[in-house]
Chains A and B, each alone.
Chain A
Amino acid sequence: MKTLLEARELVKTFGVGEAATHVLRGLSLTLEAGEMAALLGPSGSGKSTLLTILGTLMKPTSGSLRMLRQDLVAADDAALTEFRNRHIGFVFQFHNLLPDFTALENVIFPTAVREGRETPEARARGRDLLVRMGLESRIDFPSAKLSGGQKQRVAVARALMNTPELVLADEPTGNLDRASAMQVMDLIGEINQDQGTTFLISTHDEKIAARCRRQIVVGDGLVTG
């Protein structure tokens, strides 16, 4: 298998001196292309911190991060913005959608922001993705009025919009009921199978984790299993 992402000796320390919190203490992690991995660990173990660093939204205190042959620690804000747009999709637990926009407008945002306008091609692809997520009846629905499960499926569709190599999902089913959570996981599994998109999904839920072929457990700022 081809290596997609390689993180070496990641250290993340918040604050300084007495007040310093050492969240990551030299964590190393490699993701292969096409993997579907669960990120497990107790609350406060640094799962979200790791995902934001891997997603280039935050820089590590030290360590290296390479993806698709690019050094993501050295890159500047503009380069990282461009990189995220093309290669990384995100699904967050809360605050996922732009509430004043429709489901479709949310889904095509990553393409529209790159092209400077909403093209018919982007709309067509956005529609396809929403249909695939079982949301054909909600395409032009204001996103603020969608249910929690529907919102997360729209978020997954948006994460896939620019066909990224990697999707990082931070407790995507954290506030969904079991049925909705499983529906979202089914969709993620399908995409992973069909398109080979790599997923890294943080979760507290053993049943969700069991849907992934690989489980990564963090504890004490390191990968423990």
Chain B
Amino acid sequence: MLYALKIATRYLTASKAQTALLISGVAVGVFIFIFMSALIGGLAEFILSRTVGDISHVTVEAETADPEVLIDADGHLLAAVEPGRLRTATLRDSATWVPLIEAVPGVRAVSPQITGAGFLNRGSQVAQVSVKGLEPGRESAILNLEGYIVAGSARLGSGVIVLGRRLAEELDLSVGQVLRLQSSGGVSSVLTLGGIFQTGTGMLDGSSVFVSLPTARNLFALPQGVTRIEIKLDDLNAADATALRIRALTGLDAVPWTDGAEQLMEALNAQAQTGYFLKTFALITIVIGVASALVLSTYRRRPEIGIMRAMGAGRGFVVVVFVAQGALVGLIGGVTGAVLGYLALLPLPGRDEFRPGTLPLDITQGSYGLAITLTVLGAILASILPARAAARVDPVTAIGQ
């Protein structure tokens, strides 16, 4: 084995230019593989952080009881009870559930909320808004409110309201001003504008307002419980599993963000498929390159194979000599390509600093080990057939007297 390796190494170093070319070819293939991995991974990360970074990953909403329906034995609808329009479903025991959910592994933050619709009055101007009551101190648990503040602060003290820039501009508001918020139920509160945010999302900036949970409790006449619990996870992809867990734990209808995000998931999936496709091609190129180089090499070295066989080298020995060449080329080319790939990705912005307009390449998703492993395996596979052909060379015709 060691001796076969020596001969393989000597064969590779004997034709340096050819070997260098072959290794470069493999390295380029590996480079493409790593580049694609980093791009597809980074792109998915980028798209997800843009689309779901600021939303709840698992949401528990109070269930509105299904309207009761009476159907007779023949299937005729006899009566249906419609729910009252203003009836608000509540999660009454939120105080006990929140700590339970917080203890679930992978849960980063839990935000109990009271949500509803309302009207914002400023002088004669009125704007329809969606109101979110957040627990003071947890304002940025789901949406990074603090990060988006452009004036004032995100702190939701009692009697404080925070709203988006577009809305502020529409109503010509500035921090410190007083305005009146009326809930759909008719309750109204006088609030001070504590902060203005800008997320870049039109709906949030133009029609969402944030108040403290107690303020919302008052506005929507909910003495206890909440209407919604938003949950943020460490890992976006764990949403389905975590939702199931929370459902099992609390009996609540926990919904992962992936529900209703089929199109996004499909797009990401298609993207990943494209990535696999391109990576497979990079590997196939490597395999074909190594195989053709070895076919040529075994052909050129037929007389030598004949001599070795005549001197007592077994077929297995010949196979090892040529497979080892393939493996060495795969290993050296793989490592070279991986190092070059890493170095090429190094100066690019990290995953948390992706800017629109540039390729979101994620250096941490280069799949370096996988690229090297697959390349070595591919190169070994590619060399097996030529190596076996070499082992079957007839010494008499090869030595050709």
Contacts and interface: CB of A to CB of B under 8 A. Distances in A.
A23 to B, nearest CB: 12
Contacts of A85: 311-312
A95 B306 CA distance: 9
B309 to A, nearest CB: 7
Given A48-B401, A81-B309, A109-B308, 8 more contacts: A52-B396, A55-B310, A78-B314, A95-B303, A95-B307, A99-B304, A100-B14, A113-B312
Interface residues of A, number: 36
B388 interface: no
Contact of B2 (A90, A100, A116, A170): A116
Nearest to A168: B310
Contacts of B11: 100
Nearest to A161: B311
29 contacts: A52-B396, A57-B310, A57-B395, A77-B315, A81-B313, A81-B315, A84-B311, A84-B312, A85-B311, A86-B312, A90-B310, A90-B311, A92-B310, A95-B400, A96-B307, A98-B307, A100-B14, A109-B311, A110-B311, A110-B312, A113-B308, A113-B313, A115-B3, A116-B3, A117-B2, A118-B3, A158-B311, A162-B312, A171-B401
Interface in A55-75: 55, 57-58
The range of chain B's interface size is: 20 to 34
A94 B401 contact: yes
Contacts of B10: 100-101
Nearest to A105: B10
Please classify the interface of chain B as helix (H, G, I), strand (E, B), loop, or mixed, using the class held by over half of its residues. Answer: helix
B304 A98 contact: yes
Interface string B188-215: 0000000000000000000000000000
A203 to B, nearest CB: 13
Given A95-B306, A100-B10, A100-B14, A82 B3 contact: no
Contacts of A170: 401
A112 interface: yes
A46 to B, nearest CB: 12
List 9 tightest A-B contacts by C-beta distance, closest first: A85-B312, A100-B14, A95-B303, A110-B311, A113-B313, A81-B314, A48-B401, A117-B2, A52-B396
Interface in A104-125: 109-110, 112-118
A162 B396 CA distance: 21
A41 to B, nearest CB: 14
Contacts of B317: 113
